[in-house]
Homo-oligomer: A and B are copies of this chain.
Amino acid sequence: MKKRPLFGSLVTVALDAAQREPLYQQLYEQLRGAIVSGRLSGGTRLPASRVLAQELKLSRNTVTAAYDLLSNEGYILTRVGDGAYIANILPEDRLLPRQPVRPDNPPAMASHPSLSARGKLLTELSVSTGPVQPVPFVEGLPAFDAFPLHAWARLMVQGWRRVQPDMLGYANPAGYEPLRELISQHLKATRLLQCAGQDVIMTSGSQQSLDLLARVLLDHGDAVWVEEPGYVGTHSALIAAGARLVPVPVDDQGLMVSAGEKLEPRPRLIFITPSRQYPLGVTMSMERRKALLTFAEKSGAWIVEDDYDSEFRYHGTPLPAVQSLDRTGRVIYLGTFSKSLLPSFRLGFLVVPDSLARAFGNAKSVIDRHPPLLEQMTLQAFMQSGQFAAHIRRMRQVYEERQQILIREIEHRLGGFLRVAPAESGMHLVAELPEGVDDVSFCQTAKACGVSVQPLSGYYTAEPRRNGLVLGFAAIPPKSIVKGVERLAAAVYAPRAKAAASATCSEEGRMPV
């Protein structure tokens, strides 16, 4: 039993290798306790894992695993090359935040003034901390290897040749008109949307769309229904706007409207992913769509419909968008080209009710004036020439094939351990873990074995959380899917070794695609 005072004796850590719980789990729990109780306060810098490992006479992997758990759950904030800090906003605070953060908590390292309360909230949230590589089974990325880079470059250069001097200056804050017109036509044809080109507001992707609409529609303290589980980027944008998140459960018909009504009968806004619930993959039934619209009308709520990957239904016809059923102009529709094209273009859009187009354009001009021209021109040409529709069709085949390979390999190597059901669309799958296997710990082990899987419980904002794995396949070429499942199988057997699981696999490192 090792017992050591840490952080100037503020915290005592007592670890026991004889216990059933692995050392990293013990360390994680004791640090978490110190953070939640306030003994370790927000902004405190954690010692480097090497230093703490020496001090506690542990392997560095053990410390790293404990830090990773704390980081995954939001208790500490890390960035490569800059150490780790205790978060000022703990996961406990993020749920239903009724109060602004105390503004009297200056960062310790400089004599400059402190950030604003709003700024503290904003700067401690974070959506992605750096480049996301397309390693198996990272989620949320399209197939980089199948993108027509050359065709895109050709259109880009042709577009640049067409540029007139008057296009090089400041432009319409809502975006390039010919592109907005094409997008509206595409949405009218494929999603039955009620819109015109002028209702399409171009943004730099869904994150900006979410930030923009949260600021335009919400005041501090407003209640927002979010699907539980859901997307952390949505949660971040809403929390940054001071929203009070009300997690509403999802069943096999989508968001449970009646459950939401009991939790919070007067939401100001309702956020849904009806085409394919993120991350569970459920399609919201027509009956539920109508019930939601009726409730929203009655309660006076906005609806935000995020249609992030509706393009990738492999067969058949999707249900019409909720926006197409709305008769009251209360649905804001979100689309992105990060999935259908590439994230690096930073292109997404909002479709807003006609009467709000001017207001959203103005707001966009205040937040960053207007979107850049070149990507918009290139995308317009890509759509106009039919290459966009062709790319989508091709990607549907590619993604269906990759999903089939992933399911086949899992059934072959991990059939007794993971349960996956085929989905009729999308870019990721959710796998069930056996009873009693903790998804966060399992993902740690898998990471040490060179494969990235996401714990389903991490998509929840509160208890109860379902255990499971989220496996992205869209970005992963078939060969890498096969290798990835091999490594996942290694991770399944790793915990049976008595030592810290991470030690078993870590030499193999991370696998490139």
> Which residues from chain A sit less than 8 Å from chain B, CB to CB?
77, 79, 82, 100, 103, 107, 109-113, 115-119, 122-134, 140-141, 144-145, 147, 149, 152-153, 156-157, 160-161, 163, 165-173, 203-205, 207-208, 211, 215-220, 222, 233, 236-237, 240, 268, 300-302, 328-330, 338, 342-346, 353-356, 358-363, 365-375, 475, 513
Q: In angstroms, how far is the closest chain B Cβ from the Cβ of A193?
A: 16
Asked if residues B359 and A167 are in contact (CB atoms below 8 Å), the reply is no
The docked-state distance in angstroms from the alpha carbon of A109 to that of B218 is: 20
Asked if residues A110 and B329 are in contact (CB atoms below 8 Å), the reply is yes
Asked if residues A344 and B113 are in contact (CB atoms below 8 Å), the reply is no
Which residues of the other chain, B, contact A475 by a CB distance below 8 angstroms? 169
Which residues of the other chain, B, contact A204 by a CB distance below 8 angstroms? 204, 368-369, 371-372
Asked if residues B79 and A207 are in contact (CB atoms below 8 Å), the reply is no
Which residues of the other chain, B, contact A220 by a CB distance below 8 angstroms? 118
Q: In angstroms, how far is the closest chain B Cβ from the Cβ of A155?
A: 11
The residue among A218, A346, A375 with the most chain B CB atoms within 10 A of its own CB is: A346
Residue of B with least CB distance to A152: B160
The residue among A165, A170, A353 with the most chain B CB atoms within 10 A of its own CB is: A170
Q: In angstroms, how far is the closest chain B Cβ from the Cβ of A207?
A: 4
Asked if residues A218 and B157 are in contact (CB atoms below 8 Å), the reply is no
Residue of B with least CB distance to A378: B374
The docked-state distance in angstroms from the alpha carbon of A445 to that of B359 is: 30
Which residues of the other chain, B, contact A205 by a CB distance below 8 angstroms? 368-369
Which residues of the other chain, B, contact A344 by a CB distance below 8 angstroms? 167-171, 372-374
Asked if residues B216 and A123 are in contact (CB atoms below 8 Å), the reply is yes
Q: In angstroms, how far is the closest chain B Cβ from the Cβ of A369?
A: 4
Asked if residues A217 and B119 are in contact (CB atoms below 8 Å), the reply is yes
Asked if residues A268 and B132 are in contact (CB atoms below 8 Å), the reply is no
Task: Other than A128-B170, A203-B368, give 16 A-B pairs with Cβ distance below 8 A.
Answer: A79-B361, A107-B356, A112-B330, A116-B222, A118-B216, A123-B359, A127-B369, A128-B173, A129-B173, A132-B169, A133-B166, A153-B161, A169-B475, A204-B369, A205-B368, A211-B367
Asked if residues B172 and A130 are in contact (CB atoms below 8 Å), the reply is yes
Q: In angstroms, how far is the closest chain B Cβ from the Cβ of A351?
A: 13
12 contacts between A and B (CB under 8 A): A77-B362, A107-B356, A112-B330, A113-B301, A122-B215, A122-B366, A128-B170, A131-B170, A153-B160, A205-B368, A208-B367, A237-B367
The docked-state distance in angstroms from the alpha carbon of A367 to that of B204 is: 10
Given the known inter-chain contacts A165-B513, A216-B116, please indicate yes or no for A149 contacting B145, CB distance below 8 A.
no
Given the known inter-chain contacts A217-B115, A366-B236, please indicate yes or no for A355 contacting B169, CB distance below 8 A.
no
Asked if residues B116 and A219 are in contact (CB atoms below 8 Å), the reply is yes
Q: In angstroms, how far is the closest chain B Cβ from the Cβ of A441?
A: 26
Given the known inter-chain contacts A123-B363, A330-B112, please indicate yes or no for A134 contacting B211, CB distance below 8 A.
no
Q: In angstroms, how far is the closest chain B Cβ from the Cβ of A284?
A: 21
Residue of B with least CB distance to A81: B198
Residue of B with least CB distance to A144: B165
Which residues of the other chain, B, contact A367 by a CB distance below 8 angstroms? 122, 207-208, 211, 237, 240, 367
The docked-state distance in angstroms from the alpha carbon of A141 to that of B168 is: 9
Q: A369's contact among B100, B124, B128, B141, by CB below 8 Å, is which?
A: B128
Residue of B with least CB distance to A297: B111
Q: A169's contact among B107, B237, B342, by CB below 8 Å, is which?
A: B342
Asked if residues B373 and A216 are in contact (CB atoms below 8 Å), the reply is no
The docked-state distance in angstroms from the alpha carbon of A105 to that of B180 is: 29
Given the known inter-chain contacts A166-B131, A300-B113, please indicate yes or no for A346 contacting B358, CB distance below 8 A.
no
Q: A168's contact among B109, B112, B343, by CB below 8 Å, is which?
A: B343
Given the known inter-chain contacts A112-B329, A170-B131, A369-B346, please indicate yes or no for A124 contacting B362, CB distance below 8 A.
yes
Asked if residues A165 and B362 are in contact (CB atoms below 8 Å), the reply is no
Q: A366's contact among B240, B368, B371, by CB below 8 Å, is which?
A: B240
Which residues of the other chain, B, contact A122 by a CB distance below 8 angstroms? 215-216, 362-363, 366-367
Which residues of the other chain, B, contact A365 by a CB distance below 8 angstroms? 126-129, 207
Which residues of the other chain, B, contact A152 by a CB distance below 8 angstroms? 160
The docked-state distance in angstroms from the alpha carbon of A173 to that of B129 is: 7
Which residues of the other chain, B, contact A124 by a CB distance below 8 angstroms? 359, 362
Q: A145's contact among B107, B128, B165, by CB below 8 Å, is which?
A: B165
